[in-house]
């Protein structure tokens, strides 16, 4: 069985989520097919520093240019487990929702939907407009999963790293690569 997973990174704020998801995918034994939008490259540098993109690329088995429509991940005949877009800008979400396969990132996402494979979008925006909500509804109706990166405050996270690791684990768990990795809520012992 293929252990290949597409990781798309758009230009939304929350670049740390891309690194956390890449780490969670590697821990799950996945082989990462990475595609970064031009805005993602800029956001990685702005939010995490100049070495962040290289750090993310080092976690990937393959890196595809956002304009490379001949990349294997642009075809449904290439087996992958699914795709996570982390973070997912509203522009990317809207393009996916409306079938605008104008970049490799949105094309690869569209491939997941047409092949009925898991597509998980860590949508980043607040507050949401009606256009955002309608795009989220459209993606959900097509089988995609919109997973806003909302912290699990009931776990009392001690750091931003704990928050992003939990969100990343939840996203990877939705691909069903193996046993769940996200820390579950438990009535016994987790809360006072």
Which residues neighbour 45 within 8 Å (Cβ) at sequence distance 6 or greater? 52, 53
In the predicted model, is pLDDT for residue 20 greater than 70? yes
pLDDT the model gives residue 1: 58
- Tell me which H or E stretch contains 22: helix 15-27
Instruction: Give mean pLDDT, residues 5-21.
Output: 98
Q: What is the pLDDT of residues 32-60, one digit of tens each?
A: 999 999 999 999 999 999 999 999 999 99
- Share the mean pLDDT of the chain: 95
Instruction: Give mean pLDDT, residues 63-80.
Output: 97
**Per-residue confidence band for 2, with pLDDT thresholds at 50, 70 and 90:** confident
Domains (range + CATH), the chain: 4-173 (3.40.50.1950)
Q: Are 24 and 165 in contact (CB under 8 A)?
A: yes
Q: Give the C-alpha separation, 117 to 137, whole Å.
A: 18
CB < 8 Å & 24+ apart, contacts of 154-163:
154/185, 154/190, 154/191, 155/183, 155/185, 155/190, 156/190, 156/191, 160/16, 161/20
pLDDT the model gives residue 188: 63
pLDDT the model gives residue 92: 98
Q: What is the pLDDT of residues 146-164, one digit of tens each?
A: 999 999 999 999 999 999 9
In the predicted model, is pLDDT for residue 61 greater than 60? yes
In the predicted model, is pLDDT for residue 187 greater than 80? no
Instruction: Give mean pLDDT, residues 94-107.
Output: 98
Q: What is the pLDDT of residues 104-145, one digit of tens each?
A: 999 999 999 999 999 999 999 999 999 999 999 999 999 999
């Amino acid at each position: 069985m293929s252990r290949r997973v597409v990781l798309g990174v758009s230009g939304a704020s929350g670049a740390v989520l891309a690194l956390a998801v890449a780490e969670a995918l590697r821990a799950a034994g996945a082989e990462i097919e990475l595609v970064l939008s031009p805005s993602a490259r800029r956001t990685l540098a702005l939010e995490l520093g100049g070495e962040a993109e290289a750090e993310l690329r080092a976690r990937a088995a393959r890196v595809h240019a956002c304009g490379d429509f001949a990349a294997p991940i642009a075809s449904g005949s290439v087996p992958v487990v699914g795709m996570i877009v982390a973070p997912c800008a509203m522009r990317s979400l809207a393009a996916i929702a409306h079938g605008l396969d104008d970049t490799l990132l949105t094309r690869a996402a569209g491939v997941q939907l047409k092949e009925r494979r898991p597509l998980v979008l860590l949508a980043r925006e607040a507050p949401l407009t009606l256009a955002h909500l309608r795009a989220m509804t459209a993606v959900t109706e097509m089988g995609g999963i919109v997973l806003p990166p909302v912290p699990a405050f009931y776990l009392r996270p001690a750091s931003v790293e704990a928050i992003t690791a939990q969100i990343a684990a939840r996203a990877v768990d939705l691909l069903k690569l193996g046993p769940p990795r996200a820390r579950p809520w438990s009535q016994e012992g987790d809360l006072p």
